[in-house]
Amino acid sequence: MYMKIPHVLNRRNRILLKELVKTDFKLRYQGSVLGYLWALLRPLMMFAILYVVFCKLLRIGGDIPHYPVYLLTGTVMWSFFTECTLQGIQAIVLRGDLLRKICFPKYIVVVSATLTAVVNMLINLVVIILFALINGVTPSLSWLLVPLSLIEIYLFSLGISFLLGSINVKYRDITSIWEVLVSALFYAVPIIYPISMVADVSATAAKILLLNPIAQAIQDIRYNLITNEAITMWGYINNPLFMIIPMAVVVTVLIIGAVVFRHKSKFFAEEV
Amino acid sequence: MKRTLGTRTEINNPNDDVVIRVRDLHKSFKLPTEQSFGLKQAIFNRLRGIKGYEIQKVLRGIDMEIKRGEFIGIVGRNGSGKSTLLKTLAGIYWPEKGKITINGTLIPFIELGVGFNPELTGRENVYMNGALLGFSNDEMDKMYDDIWKFAELEQFQDQKLKNYSSGMQVRLAFSIAIRAKGDILLLDEVLAVGDAAFQQKCNDYFKSLKDNNQTVILVTHSMENVKQFCNRAILIDDGKILEQGDPKKIADKYLEILL
């Protein structure tokens, strides 16, 4: 009767989470002249480079309507995924001092690190929407479906962060390996090239690419936000059995991540 | 190594007079023998059949009970396991074997100013540190002015913490820490710093805790504090309780094993 029910996010944990996100955000842009503006400038600059190289020099994507917005959406969502996972994986090690001195649920540290990436992404989403309106995209009800894909990317990143983050405490190589892996993975996701280019060569390859949850989510966002001409996993793969693969991957990674993290977190304080 | 796990339970039973129960508590650490951080070394060790770590037993069977309102002093030589005991009670380390039951809310002070960041201003650090102690923004707003007044640092609120002297940082942290409210306080030598004026403030703080019948567990090397404030002292040596009871007797015993 006297047992305290462990709340996932009780009052104390909520206070802590809020303060950690606030601090992370402040620290990130500490001492820079442009401050928070960098949260906007980074993806915009990456977009500008990709736009010049791929649209203007290599002339890719000319047949897709609103291609610049289409490209910007892809780069912003990709930055969201990489930032989320990289921050999440390193969170436990970076906050080692806290773990060694106070007792609190360790996942808070990972969630706070990834939430900082969410805040960045949301700021960029506003830019995408402004950009889309300027570019002549008409707002539609399908915009309301976009948050579903954002949640999917977030949960996938969180699962990866839990799983790799708990291994990273002991084997710090994980951070470096993941950095290399994401930069390679960038080319396996149809961000800078339209998926139709792959489909022209091999339909099977295009289908396999679309089964990646990140690719599937990015294409869904583009479809719902910008143009019905964006090829989505749902429209391109006709076997319903395969359609569940991206979701299944996300759920599996999240569950495995949570279980591993739960077990390993008992020893973070002494190992970090 | 297959790790066996003990338990640590938090309950809230105001009718029970015992606030901490510890049964047969064991804790050991895996210490890396070579630099075993990193995959390469881990694979090498696996191939050569080297364990890559040593087991260090720190706590070897601690049994104790602490009652509401007691002021307990835990003493012992360096490396005897005092801090590990405190951290295991606080839930920072997981017990390897045995059982801990905590009855009520427990506030650990393993260090003053946990989470202080030199790049943030004094104001921001106060809110961060407060959040770590479980205070919400609103609660912090209410005690904000008192914190600075007590620390005597009002004019430095918006300076970055890196521009504070270490003494100023300790004063600020202490001023926040003493506001923490909990059924049980764990203090780990946090107050063994600062000048004479600061020591006086600490003594006043201990005295107020004692007058309020606050349950306190204090890890310390100061036998003066033990004699002055504790109702009971526990001497730990080599991960076991060597003796416990009257603070004066324990203080003498401590000096005896030290020399």
**What domains can be seen in chain B, in order of their start residue?**
7-105+217-258 (3.40.50.300)
DSSP H or E run through B28: strand B18-32
Q: Inter-chain contact B38–A172, Cβ cutoff 8 Å?
A: yes
Q: Which pLDDT value is given to residue A5?
A: 44
Q: Which residue has 């808070």 as its token pair?
A: A108
CA B227 to the chain's CA centroid: 20
* Residue B92 contacts A where some CB pair is shorter than 8 Å: yes
Chain B residues with beta carbon closer than 8 angstroms to that of A172: 37-38
Residues 21 to 60 of A: which have CB under 8 A from any B CB?
23, 26-27, 30-31
Q: Inter-chain contact A103–B90, Cβ cutoff 8 Å?
A: yes
**Does residue A92 surpass a pLDDT of 60?**
yes
* Residue A263 contacts B where some CB pair is shorter than 8 Å: no
Higher per-residue confidence, A231 vs A42: A231
Three-point CA angle B82, A99, A255, nearest 5° = 130
Q: Inter-chain contact B128–A23, Cβ cutoff 8 Å?
A: yes
DSSP A51: I
DSSP H or E run through B88: helix B82-90
Three-point CA angle A196, A217, A132, nearest 5° = 75
pLDDT class of B112 with cuts at 50, 70, 90: confident
Q: What is the mean pLDDT of chain B?
A: 89
Q: In the sheet where B232-237 sits, what is the strand order?
A: B106-109, B184-188, B215-219, B71-76, B232-237, B240-245
Among the listed residues A87, A86, A77, the one whose alpha carbon sits nearest the alpha carbon of residue A192: A77
Of the residues A14, A19, A168, A175, the best mutation for testing chain B's interface (the one with the most B CB atoms within 10 Å of its CB) is A19
Q: Which pLDDT value is given to residue B35?
A: 59
Span B194-208, mean pLDDT?
84
* Residue B174 contacts A where some CB pair is shorter than 8 Å: no
- ipTM for the complex shown: 0.84
Are the C-beta atoms of A144 and A68 separated by less than 8 Å? no
Of B123-132, B173-182, B186-195, B247-256, least confident by mean pLDDT is B186-195
Span B134-159, mean pLDDT?
92
Q: Inter-chain contact B128–A266, Cβ cutoff 8 Å?
A: no
> Which residues, at least 6 apart from A92, have a Cβ–Cβ distance to it below 8 Å?
A99, A106, A109, A110, A165, A166, A168, A169, A268, A272
Of A156-170, B120-134, B195-209, least confident by mean pLDDT is B195-209
Q: Which residue has 């999440």 as its token pair?
A: A88
Q: In the sheet where B53-67 sits, what is the strand order?
A: B7-11, B97-103, B18-32, B53-67
* Residue B11 contacts A where some CB pair is shorter than 8 Å: yes
Of A19, A102, A266, the CB nearest to B94: A266
Which of A121-130, A151-160, A236-245, B122-131: highest mean pLDDT?
A151-160
Which of A55-69, A126-140, A159-173, B22-36: highest mean pLDDT?
A159-173
**Does residue A97 surpass a pLDDT of 80?**
yes
Q: Which pLDDT value is given to residue A174?
A: 94
**Does residue A66 surpass a pLDDT of 50?**
yes
Q: Which pLDDT value is given to residue B191?
A: 67
Q: How far is A75 from chain B (nearest CA, A)?
A: 31
**Does residue B161 surpass a pLDDT of 60?**
yes
pLDDT class of B2 with cuts at 50, 70, 90: low
